Amino acid sequence: MNRKSDKPIKITEVCLRDGSHVVAHQYTEEQVRPVARALDDAGMHYIEVSHGDGLGGSTLQYGRSLVDELKLIEAAVEECRQATVAVLLLPGIGTVHQLKQARELGAGLVRVATHVTEADVSAQHIHAAREMGMETLGFLMMAHMAPVEKLVEQAKLMESYGAQAVYVTDSAGALLPDQVRERIRALRQALDIEVGFHGHNNLSVAVANTVAAIEEGATRIDGSVRCLGAGAGNTQTEVLLAVLERMGLQVGIDLYKMMDIAEDIVAPLIPNPQEINKGSLVLGYAGVYSSFLLHAERAGKRFGIDPRDILMELGKRKAVGGQEDLILDVAAEFAKAQKREVKG
C-alpha cells in the first residue's frame, strides 16, 4: 500500500461517544467498563467517552444522559492500562471547566469540534487543552458543506491555535471517496500537523472513504465497533482493520479480539441493528447531521410527518449541529401545511 505519510496510524474508537446517540445517551458505568476494558486489551489507541454531543451535552435540547458523563469517563480511565481515554468538546456546549474536570479524571486527548466554517470559536478551548497537557485535535464537522478552500482556511486557523491535528469530519456521511481524497490532500499540502478523518456510513462508503483518507496521508482515524454511531453508524472498526490488514497495513490492534468485542459485548447494547435504513440513507443523500435522525423520527411521529421530508427540508436549509430546535419547527410547518391542504 502506497501511503502519503510515514507516520503511524492512530485509531480512535468512538462507540462510547458517537454510539451514545444510538442509545439515547443512556449508557451506564456497567456498560462502559467492559467495553473499555476489552478495547484496551485489544490494543486500541484511543477510546472516546462522553455524551454524543460532547462534554456538557446532557441537556433537554441534545438529550439527557442517564449517568453523568464524568462518571463514565472515570470508569473508562480506571479500566484502561494502555489506551488513552479521549473526549469531544463543542465550544458553546462544553466548557473549559468541564474539560478540566475530564482531564483531572484522566482523559488524555480532546477533539475540539466546530462547524466547518466556525473554527474561530475553538481558540480558547484549544489553548486551554494544550496548557493542560492534553493531546489536542481540531474537528471540522459537516465537512461536505464548505468548498475545499474554506476547509483549508479553517484548518489553518485550528493549527494556529495549537491543534496537533485537524480532522475532516463527515458528520452527515455525505462525502464520496473522491471528495474525501480532495479534502485530505488539500489539508496535507497546507498543514504542518497531522490530518484525520471521521466518517459515517449513511451512503455505505464509510470504509471506502476512510481507506481513501489513509491513502492520501490521514493518520488520525475514527472507527466504531459494530458500526455503533449516529445515523447508519461510523466506519466499522473491525471491518476497517480487516481491510487494512488485507492491504498490508498493520496498526497494532488485534483483529480477532475486535471481532469478539463487536459480537459479544457491543452488539447486545444496540437497541436496533445498525443498518442503512430509509432515514439514515436520507441523511447522507440530503447532507444532514447524523444525530438529527432520532430527533426527526420523534418529530415525525408527533406531527404525523414522514421523517424523510423533515430531513430533506433540513438539508435544503443547510441545518447544522446545534439547530436541533429547527427539526420541530419544520415538522410543525409541514403539519400546518397539510391541514391547510385538507381544508382547501
198 is in an annotated binding site: yes
Helix and strand element counts for the chain (H, E): 13, 8
Q: Which of 263, 224, 257 is nearest to 46 (CA)?
A: 224
127 is in an annotated binding site: no
Give yes or no for residue 323 having a pLDDT over 90: no
Would you name the residues annotated as active-site residues?
A: 21
Report the predicted TM-score, pTM, of the whole model to 2 decimal places. Answer: 0.93
Domains in the chain (CATH in brackets) are 10-269 (3.20.20.70), 291-343 (1.10.8.60)
Give yes or no for residue 4 having a pLDDT over 90: no
Residues in the chain, overall count: 344
18 is in an annotated binding site: yes
Choice among 9-13, 318-322, 338-342 with the minimum mean pLDDT: 338-342
The amino acid at residue 228 is L
The sign of the CA dihedral 267, 271, 276, 281 is negative
Q: How do residues 37-92 score in pLDDT, each as one tens digit?
A: 999 999 999 999 999 999 999 998 889 999 999 999 999 999 999 999 999 999 99
45 is in an annotated binding site: no
Beta strands 109-115 and 46-48, pairing class: unpaired
pLDDT band at 1 (very low <50, low <70, confident <90, very high): low
Asked if 26 and 70 count as a contact pair (C-beta separation under 8 A), the reply is no
Our CA angle for 22, 19, 128, nearest 5°, is: 130
Q: How do residues 290-322 score in pLDDT, each as one tens digit?
A: 889 889 999 999 999 999 999 999 999 988 877
